[in-house]
Structure 1
């Protein structure tokens, strides 16, 4: 896939059960991903080839500057911050991780991290209020969003 659109992203948010809670993130990410040349497209497509532009100083480092997954950085999230359960984060541990990754004067990165992680927590925490390691891995490999769509669809049918 070369590009996606924010309209599709919004539909995905709704199908995943987020409703229209994510437009802030959509607008925030628009400038990172929509630029083909010098200026953003008025259609704000998400250019997959530009996905590394979503990297910011206050992120976890799980993706490097070229968009490659770094397994050791992924494991570091849990080694450093999963105090209660070795393979999951509580809300407080998630907040601790976000704060630990803050870079001075990286205000947009701080906002991005808070929005990204808090939306993920709201969407994907389990019944015990834990954000499981495999769930977070699903964000990075893309499988979580399909799972959430299926869960939300089956919940509506009941």
Structure 2
């Protein structure tokens, strides 16, 4: 995790790669305007822009790719990235949930 650290991030991981719950909660406190437990695509974009380090433009692309991927993988049909799913990206639990959803929809289609 330490080698994956970059500027312009949310601070949800410290320099030793440990998850910082308070920083994670701040993402939603500061940026979830439509509903407190989820981020829209535009709110994710606003968060990315707010976290940009103006002195480190080389670090701008990482969060865009990371959060764009998180949003594409974990947002719901109404366009919200829910807090629990975003936290699940950090701890890995969302991938089990997504696989269960995929298996259910595949099974239902048969």
Tell me the TM-score normalized by structure 1: 0.64
Segments of 4+ moved more than 6 angstroms:
none
Q: For 1:126, which of 76, 92, 99 is the aligned residue? A: 76
Q: For 1:116, which of 66, 71, 77 is the aligned residue? A: 66
Aligned residues: 108
RMSD: 1.3
Q: CA deviation at 1:127?
A: 1.8
The 5 Å alignment of 1:42-57 reads 51-57=1-7
The 5 Å alignment of 1:1-158 reads 51-157=1-107, 158=109
Higher alpha-carbon Rg: 1
Question: Higher helix proportion, which one?
Answer: 2
State the alpha-carbon separation in 1 of the partners of residues 35 and 12 from structure 2: 20
State the alpha-carbon separation in 2 of the partners of residues 73 and 143 from structure 1: 19
Unaligned runs of 5+ in 2: none
Unaligned runs of 5+ in 1: 1-50
Q: CA deviation at 1:81?
A: 0.5
Q: CA deviation at 1:79?
A: 1.0
